[in-house]
Structure 1
Amino acid sequence: METLNARKGRPGGAGRELETALDELYTTPPSDFVARREMLAAAAKTAGRVDDARRIHAARRPTLAAWAANLLLRSQPEESQQFLELGRALRAAYHARDADGLKDLSAQRRRVVTALSRQAAQLAREAGHRLSESVQQDLEATLRAVLADPDAADQWAGGRLINALTPPSDFRPGTAPAAERPGTRGRLTPPPGARAAKDELAERRRARQEQLAQAQEAAEAAEERLREERARRADVDAELQRAREHTEQARRRMSAAEEQMQQAREEYRQAENEQQEAEEHSRSAADALAQAEREARERAQHVRRMTAGTT
């Protein structure tokens, strides 16, 4: 008999850290699953729990429908336990061929599945993921499978679904008995050969569901890569913009420096011209000074001669 959050051989002590990490991981939104998984695995490895790190790293990312079902289980434990009990009652009524009881329980089943699927969708929106119509259908199919199939109930009660579940074809709690004959009212009587055909149909549905789950997982992985590439492209574009701005600033400084250099060249040429003119003036002044000194000496000598002649 399934119980909420049931675990076969669930360990205690140190193993509980692994269970807690996995429980957290499977309620992490699929878009953040890989990053959170690597973070938890790295933390376990750093703590010396190598085996735990390996198990965490091997965890597969759930589809959106499976994640929403896990989130519902963790967030609404009381309602989830009542849902599991409803499933046990439905299966007991089916196996007892209690058509009247099954009819009453089926009406309750429809209301509960609708209500829980809406709660799960609301929880997903609050976590940042709006469920599409197809994902919502997968979620409702999972809840119907939990009611109809004890194995599915055990899987959901574990809280670590990876893919959406498919209801078995030979138990449809929303339908009335296939045929009623006098004296058999209240007993379910499947037509001859129906079980084999239903089993084959169920197998095909399970195969299609598995293919769909794989395709969804691949699509989600591609979307995650696309988000990563877009973020990387945004970083590169920002870096390019910064480089362009830096180049423009350098160009402006270079242009200003070139203008200053041109102005300095003009000032240098002007200074050279002024220096040449000053040097010419200096030479002229030196020549004039030398001439004046010669004339002064000659005049002085002449004066001395004249003075000597009169004595």
Structure 2
Amino acid sequence: MRREDGRDGRDGGDGEVEAVLDELYALPPSDFVARREERAAAARTEGRADDARRLHAARRPTLAAWAANLLRRSRPDEARQFLELGRALREAHATLDPSALKELSAQRRRIVSELSRQTAGLAREAGHPLSDAVRRDVETTLRAVLADPEAAALWDSGRTESALTPPSGFAATAESPAREAPRAPSAPARRRDEPAERRAERQRRLDRAREAAREAEERLHDRRTEHEDAGASLERARERHREAGRRVSALEEQLREAQREFERAERERQEAGAREGAASEALARAGREAREAVREAERAAKGAR
């Protein structure tokens, strides 16, 4: 889905653009814009203006969308089974098979929970832990993939740009006959005869409203991306804070142990000092006694002569 056939007839062509788009959507969101502009500039330098426009139009994915794309690329077998489950669910819903719906719905809840857990693990290993809010967006996206064939095709392409929302009820499969849209009531004769200027003005207002809606959607996408970036930064900061707290606790324990060791050494120093002092006094006393004994011996020797 969203793979336009914008060929420009030059070497590389659409296949090269597709490869670059795959590369872009495999990058973390923080690296997306810089690499996109680099690739678009290279295409312009090579004279591939259409390719450059296609690349420049690629929208940076939100963190939840990037994580969902990461799951699709990293777990191809599980992804294929998940897409098959979605087709089975939509078929069961289209045929209103109660027993099949009950069994498949139980599988859906279990598998969505497990794939959400795997996605969070993959993102964490890639250095981008997911906040609780982003994980909820991932789960919503996975439910949309099961419920909506267009969402399934977009996720299968690996280029999801923002969190997907499931419809209120499961959409029918592509093989199911589409219901004919109700026909708009015929315009009254007055409108058919309305001046062309008024019709043109209405069309201009409609075009402006559509452009405003598109710009609002772009702003919403940008704000959602910024919000997710801030949430990811907060989660990383929290993890660094927890790790710093663990290091501080370890250092505090080392400091307490060093203080205890210092106090023990101080007591031993004082005790050794006291013993050394006593030994010095005993040595001095013994010295005095020895000298006195020598003098006494000398006096006795003189008396004997």
Superposition deviation, residue 93 in structure 1: 0.8
- Give secondary structure in 1 for the equivalent of 2:68: helix
CA distance in 2, matches of 1:63, 1:8: 21
Q: Would you say the 8 A contact 1:6–1:154 is kept in 2?
A: no
> In the alignment, which residue of structure 2 is the partner of 1:141?
140
Partner residue in 2 for 1:186: none
Contact 1:164 1:213 in 2 (8 A): no
Deviation (angstroms), 1:128:
1.5
Aligned length: 184
Cα distance, 1:211 vs structure 2: 8.2
**TM-superposition CA deviations, 1:235-294 (whole Å, max 9, x none):** xxxxxxxxxxxxxxxxxxxxxxxxxxxxxxxxxxxxxxxxxxxxxxxxxxxxxxxxxxxx
Q: Structure 1's 212 and 58: CA in aligned 2 closer, same or farther, altered over 3 A? A: closer
> Secondary structure of 1:26's match?
helix
- Distance (whole Å) between structure 2 residues aligned to residue 62 and residue 85 of structure 1: 25
- Could you tell me how far 1:23 is from its partner in structure 2? 0.9
Instruction: List gaps (5 residues or longer) in structure 2.
Output: 172-216, 233-305
Shift of 1:116: 1.4
In the alignment, is the contact (CA less than 8 A) between 1:66 and 1:162 conserved in 2? yes
Distance 1:68 1:54, change over 3 A: same
RMSD of Structure 2 on Structure 1 (CA): 2.9
1:298 maps to which residue? none
Cα deviation for residue 54 of structure 1 reads: 1.9
1:217 corresponds to which of 215, 220, 225: 225
Q: Which has the larger radius of gyration?
A: 1
Partner amino acid, structure 1, of 2:128 = H
Q: 1:78-123 deviations in whole A, cap 9, x for unaligned? A: 2111111100000111111111111111111112111211222122
Query: Deviation digits for residues 182-204 of structure 1, max 9, x if unmatched?
Result: xxxxxxxxxxxxxxxxxxxxxxx
Mapping of residues 182-197 of structure 1, within 5 Å? none
Offset from partner CA, 1:114-147 (integer Å, 9 cap, x none)? 1211222122122221110000000000000110
How does 1:81-230 map onto structure 2 within 5 Å? 81-171=80-170, 213-219=221-227
* Equivalent position of 1:55 in the other structure: 54
| Displacement over 6 Å in runs of 4+ | 209-212, 221-224
Output the CA distance in 2 between the equivalents of 1:80 and 1:132: 23
Q: Distance in 2 between matches of 1:131 and 1:221?
A: 10
TM-score with structure 1 length normalisation? Answer: 0.53
Residue identity opposite 1:116 in structure 2 = L
Structure 1 residue 16 displacement after superposition: 0.7
User: Where does residue 32 of structure 1 map in the other structure?
Assistant: 31
Q: How far apart, CA to CA, are the structure 2 residues paired with 1:161 and 1:35?
A: 19
Instruction: Kindly indicate whether the alpha-carbon contact (under 8 Å) linking 2:120 and 2:129 is maintained by their aligned counterparts in 1.
Output: yes
**Letter of the 1:216 counterpart:** R
Q: Which amino acid aligns with 1:122?
A: G
Match of 1:70 in 2: 69
Residues in 2 aligned to 1:6 and 1:215: alpha-carbon distance in whole angstroms: 22
TM-score (norm 2): 0.54
